[in-house]
């Protein structure tokens, strides 16, 4: 009964679509977020469409990302304090690490949704159609594939480029050729490479002064949080500005492997197999923890949101190319055992949440095998051969996004010719 009253109230305050198109667009987006359409397919009988609508589909992907968000937030603080030689134990100073991670991640999250949804709302109101749901996932993905200290204005520019040029120019949600989140990352990489590559960007709150590194002053963080932590008897942030530890290295495992092979990686104590597997290493915010990413991937497979063929074939393609490089052995990076390639970088995140995008991936079942396998091959090739950019999944997926329609066309032509024979 109360639900019916709420529904009537929401219907009563609905803005007029002709007089106030923008506010009607905003209202419609929020209303359909909380309420499913009242016209759905029946539970029984012949089905052409699923009973679930697009918003609920997108929410499943956002839910699958939450574990990566949780550990990514904590790891921002973990890497920061570890670089300073403070609270080096995994759970030492946990409240400081979590607070610091939230301070860095929340602004990225807010800007991602504010800018992206603002463009979606504006475009929908101008075109007179409902707000599309695609940005629900894109907005959650973008912060996870960025460095924690990325300037917010650069993030905003990348989102404007990706959403307006990469999606709205092609007709909106479902019409884009390229993965929007990866377009945002590609914009940052090519327009502002110093903010997303190198040894300084992956650990937050560290700056280079002369030839040495030191921590940055905490500023308002110190003033706001220390009084709270002091009242609880917990450790405080302090003023900040401490020098980094003697053993500090901002280089990621991939950067070390590109220069000195697997031996260079294992020479750094913090880059144990365990830390690399669980994700307590520098890197993009959400791409480091392999088990939690795989848990999200399993959730997507169980719910039928992602396609297993792309995941399996991408893994096989990367393993195949890694094995070929082991046989070749022309550089130290090529000699890294192929199975250890999966401990470094963002392969699993790219496999679970980027390559499986149903809009930009191949649509036929055979095409999905080819599409995923080629991403694995190309991504590993770019990672190992291109020493200036020791990670290849972004470029490989964007390249195969462009090739996906051709793959599907060739598969369909092959099927037609087979049936003719």
| DSSP track, 155-201 | HHHHHHIIIIIHTGGGTSTTT-SS-HHHHHHHHHHHHSGGGTSSSSS
- pLDDT tier for residue 375 given thresholds of 50, 70 and 90: very high
Instruction: Count the domains in the chain.
Output: 3
* Bridge partners for 212 per DSSP: 209
Q: How far apart are CA 79 and CA 266, in angstroms?
A: 18
Give Cα separations from 275 to 49, 344, 345 (angstroms): 44, 10, 13
- The percent of residues above 70 in pLDDT, for the chain, comes to 88
Give yes or no: residues 113 and 223 share one domain: no
Q: How far apart are CA 73 and CA 70, in angstroms?
A: 5
Q: How far apart are CA 121 and CA 326, in angstroms?
A: 50
Give yes or no: residues 258 and 225 share one domain: no
CA dihedral 152, 402, 257, 265 (to 10 degrees): 60
Give yes or no: residues 200 and 220 share one domain: no
Give yes or no: residues 284 and 373 share one domain: yes
42 domain residue, yes or no: no
Give yes or no: residues 273 and 368 share one domain: yes
214 domain residue, yes or no: yes
419 domain residue, yes or no: no
End-to-end CA distance of the chain: 63
Confidence (pLDDT) at 372: 98
Give yes or no: residues 119 and 60 share one domain: yes
Q: Is the pTM of this model over 0.85?
A: yes
Q: How confident is the model over 302-359, as pLDDT tens digits? A: 999 999 999 999 999 999 999 999 999 999 999 999 999 999 999 999 999 999 999 9
Give yes or no: residues 93 and 223 share one domain: no
346 domain residue, yes or no: yes
User: Of the candidates 417, 401, 396, 390, which has an alpha carbon nearest to the alpha carbon of residue 333?
Assistant: 390
Give yes or no: residues 198 and 215 share one domain: no
Q: How far apart are CA 336 and CA 325, in angstroms?
A: 8
Give yes or no: residues 92 and 133 share one domain: yes
Angle of helix 54-64 versus helix 290-302 axis, rounded to 10: 150
Judging by DSSP bridges, how do beta strands 212-215 and 206-209 pair with one another?
A: antiparallel
Give yes or no: residues 169 and 291 share one domain: yes
Q: How confident is the model over 236-258, as pLDDT tens digits? A: 999 998 989 887 887 899 999 99
Q: How confident is the model over 263-275, as pLDDT tens digits? A: 999 999 899 999 9
Give yes or no: residues 188 and 218 share one domain: no
Mean pLDDT of 286-314: 96
Q: How confident is the model over 59-88, as pLDDT tens digits? A: 899 999 999 999 999 999 999 999 999 999
Predicted confidence (pLDDT) at residue 114 exceeds the cutoff of 60: yes
Give Cα separations from 14 to 25, 122, 127, 212, 255 (angstroms): 10, 18, 19, 59, 54
Q: How far apart are CA 225 and CA 11, in angstroms?
A: 43
Give yes or no: residues 272 and 385 share one domain: yes
- pLDDT tier for residue 134 given thresholds of 50, 70 and 90: confident
Domain span at residue 214 reads: 205-243
């Amino acid at each position: 009964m109360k639900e019916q009253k709420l529904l009537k109230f929401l219907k009563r305050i609905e803005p007029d679509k002709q007089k106030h198109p923008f506010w009607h667009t905003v209202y419609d987006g929020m209303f359909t977020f909380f309420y499913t359409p009242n016209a759905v397919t029946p539970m029984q009988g012949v089905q052409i469409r699923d009973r679930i609508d697009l918003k609920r589909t997108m929410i499943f992907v956002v839910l699958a990302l939450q574990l990566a968000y949780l550990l990514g937030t904590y790891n921002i603080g973990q890497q920061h304090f570890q670089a300073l030689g403070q609270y080096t134990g995994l759970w030492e100073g946990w409240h400081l690490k979590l607070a610091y991670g939230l301070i860095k991640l929340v602004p990225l999250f807010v800007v991602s949704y504010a800018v992206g949804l603002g463009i979606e709302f504006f475009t929908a109101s101008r075109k007179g159609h409902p707000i599309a749901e695609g940005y629900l996932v894109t907005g959650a993905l973008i912060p996870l594939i960025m460095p924690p200290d990325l300037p917010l204005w650069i993030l905003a520019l990348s989102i404007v480029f990706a959403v307006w040029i990469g999606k709205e120019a092609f007709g909106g949600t479902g019409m884009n050729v390229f993965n929007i989140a990866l377009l945002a990352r590609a914009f940052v990489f090519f327009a502002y490479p110093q903010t997303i590559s190198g040894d300084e960007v992956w650990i937050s709150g560290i700056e280079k002064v002369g030839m040495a590194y030191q921590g940055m002053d905490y500023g308002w963080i110190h003033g706001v949080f220390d009084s709270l932590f002091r009242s609880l008897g917990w450790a405080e942030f302090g003023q900040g500005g401490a020098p980094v530890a003697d053993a500090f290295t901002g280089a990621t495992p991939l950067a070390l492997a590109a220069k000195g092979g697997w031996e260079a990686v294992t020479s750094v104590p913090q880059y144990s197999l365990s830390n690399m597997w669980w994700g307590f290493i520098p890197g993009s915010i959400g791409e480091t923890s392999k088990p939690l990413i795989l848990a999200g991937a399993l959730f997507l497979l169980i719910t039928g949101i992602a396609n297993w063929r792309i995941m399996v074939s991408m893994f096989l393609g990367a393993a195949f190319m890694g094995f070929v490089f082991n046989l070749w052995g022309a550089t130290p990076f090529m000699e890294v055992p192929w199975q250890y390639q999966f401990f470094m970088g963002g392969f699993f995140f790219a496999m679970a949440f980027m390559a499986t995008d149903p809009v930009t991936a191949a649509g036929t079942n055979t095409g999905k095998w080819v599409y995923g396998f080629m991403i694995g091959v190309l991504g590993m090739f770019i990672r190992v051969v291109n020493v200036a950019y020791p990670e290849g999944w972004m470029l490989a997926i964007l390249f195969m996004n462009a090739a996906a329609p051709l793959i599907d066309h060739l598969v369909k032509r092959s099927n037609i010719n087979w049936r003719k024979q």
